[in-house]
Amino acid sequence: MLYRFSTGAVALVALTLAGAVAQAHDETKYPDLRGQWSRGKGGAQWDQSKPGGLRQEVPLTPEYQAIYEANIKAEFSGGEAYNPQAVCMPSGMPRMMIAYEPLEVIVTADVTYIRVDHMSEFRRIYTDGRSWPGKIDATFAGYSIGKWVDQDGDGRYDVLEVETRAVRGPHAYDHNGVPFHKDNQAVFKERIYLDKGNPDIMRDEITSIDNALTRPWMVTRTYYRNRNTSWYEHICVEDNHHVIIGKESYFLSPDGLLMPTRKDQPPPDLKFFSQARK
Amino acid sequence: MPWKLTCFLICGALVVAGGAAMAHHSFAMFDQQNLIDLEGVVKEFRYSAPHAFIILDVKQEDGTIETWILEGVSPSALTREGWSRETLNPGEQIKVKVAPLRSGAPGGWWTIDKVNFRDGRPVPGNP
């Protein structure tokens, strides 16, 4: 009898688990986001609809506009101390969504993951209905909570709405150095969806809310699907030749020696080295 | 704002933005307005992250060899254009148009469409 009861209980548990698993893998409820998502041949400026640099027309406060112009000026003279990604630091949010290398979107019932091979970054967007934790340790990717929305009521989700908080610096929107406020309080709201007319195009409307901005700044980034996926390992530190020491940017020779990047660039300060300079 | 500063910022932004189509770092350190032609022997082809490198031995007028380090796009981007780590091999002679380092040091930036074998063989992705 006991054996029978145990068997029944096990069967019941198994059925319950099977149901849960079936729910977790009910792909018909979600948009098909499989494949490789590339940003296409366009540039890597944050707002793809405008040229890079000042023509991005970023709604920055005067203080941060001055920082941005200083970054561009430094960049034009060969320096990019404002750009930690040049030395393989993570892009963080939202820059990781530029898709320097293709993105992979992995949808599960509780979490949507976005793999970013560039800089080996990874996003977790929790869709399990959780509330914001009382305290979040800031990370480069931040903490993201999402919600799937069935906009047209056809029983299938169309849009993933995401909010991301607790993003740590240093970071910038793009390689031109559009800055964030140094308080690292930026919040990002996204709407991720497939193009209605072409399911091989994915869009991400990303709104940045930051104290360096005079108003929320919304851009729409576009990605193109490649279904014949082939993934490449991209370990940035493998052979990176860009070096930032202080506010100076240098380049490494094949033998690993420092090379100047601009005319009359001073070498690094060697005061902690005892031997005489050659 | 004085017009010279305005021009510097806008023109500079255009240059750095235009050249940085594929990378995580700026390309402003490379002079994209004054490309130079190099001919030499491939010493090494590094098909490595984050960017591929051609190490090129270039013979100088006085007969000495100067070794250049030339940065390109990422291996994954090259692969999508039909390249592999065997596309260039040590000992092969190539001609390449590069954006040199602004400092004058022997370094530069190359793109697929500006590389040619001296023996006339086609280079993948180079029409």
Is the minimum CB–CB distance between A272 and chain B shorter than 8 Å?
Answer: no
Token code pair at residue A75: 């960049």
Element holding A62 (H helix, E strand): helix A62-76
- In this structure, how many other beta carbons lie within 10 angstroms of the beta carbon of residue A90? 21
SS3 state at A195? coil
Q: What is the side-by-side order of every strand in the sheet holding A242-245?
A: A242-245, A248-252, A258-260
Confirm if B71 and B53 have CB atoms less than 8 A apart: yes
Q: How far apart are CA A249 and CA B115, in angstroms?
A: 27
ipTM confidence: 0.83
CA distances, A250 to each of A273, B25, B34 (Å): 19, 12, 20
Measured in whole angstroms, the distance separating CA A53 from the mean position of its chain's CA atoms is 20
In this complex, do A76 and B76 lie within 8 Å of one another by their Cβ atoms?
A: no
Nearest beta carbon to residue A85 from set B14, B24, B101: B24
Stated length of chain B: 127
Cα–Cα dist A158/A191, whole Å: 10
Q: Which residue has the tokens 């959780």?
A: A130
Q: What is the pLDDT of residues B19-57, one digit of tens each?
A: 434 567 778 899 999 999 999 999 999 999 999 999 999
Angle at A276 between CA A273 and CA A277, to 5 degrees: 90
> Which of residues 17 through 76 in chain B touch A, CB cutoff 8 A?
17-18, 20-26, 28-29, 43-44, 46, 48-51, 53, 55, 67, 69, 71, 74-76
pLDDT score at B2: 45
pLDDT in tens, A84-140: 889 999 999 999 999 999 999 999 999 999 999 888 899 999 999 999 999 999 999
For A250-265, b/e burial (b = at least 16 CB within 10 A) is bbbbbeeebbbbbeeb
Residue A55 contacts B, CB cutoff 8 Å: yes
Give the integer Cα–Cα distance in Å for B97 and A75: 23
DSSP B41-69: EEEEEE--SS--EEEEEEE-TTS-EEEEE
A108 touching B, CB under 8 A? no
User: In terms of C-beta density within 10 A (0-12 exposed, 13-18 middle, 19 or more buried), how is residue A61 classed?
Assistant: middle
Query: Chain B closest CA to A263's CA: distance in Å?
Result: 4
> Are the C-beta atoms of A182 and A214 separated by less than 8 Å?
no
pLDDT value for B16: 44
> Which is more confidently placed, B76 or A115?
A115
Residues 6+ positions from A185 with CB-CB distance below 8 Å: A210, A211
Q: Percent of chain A, pLDDT > 70?
A: 90
Strand, coil or helix: what is A31? coil
Q: What pLDDT digit, counting tens, does each position of A28-46 carry?
A: 999 999 999 998 776 789 9
The whole model's pTM is what?
0.83
Contact B13 A53 (CB under 8 A): yes
**Residue B115 gets which letter from DSSP?**
E
pLDDT band of residue A276 (cuts 50, 70, 90) is low
The 10s digit of each residue's pLDDT in A166-175 is 999 999 999 8
Q: Which residue has the higher pLDDT, A205 or B18?
A: A205
CA distance B10 to chain A (A): 6
What does the alpha-carbon distance between residue A182 and residue A210 come to, in Å, rounded to a whole number? 10
pLDDT, tens only, A206-224 = 999 999 999 999 999 999 9
CA distance B103 to chain A (A): 4
Closest alpha carbon to B114 in B10, B39, B4:
B39
* Predicted local confidence at residue A25, as pLDDT: 60
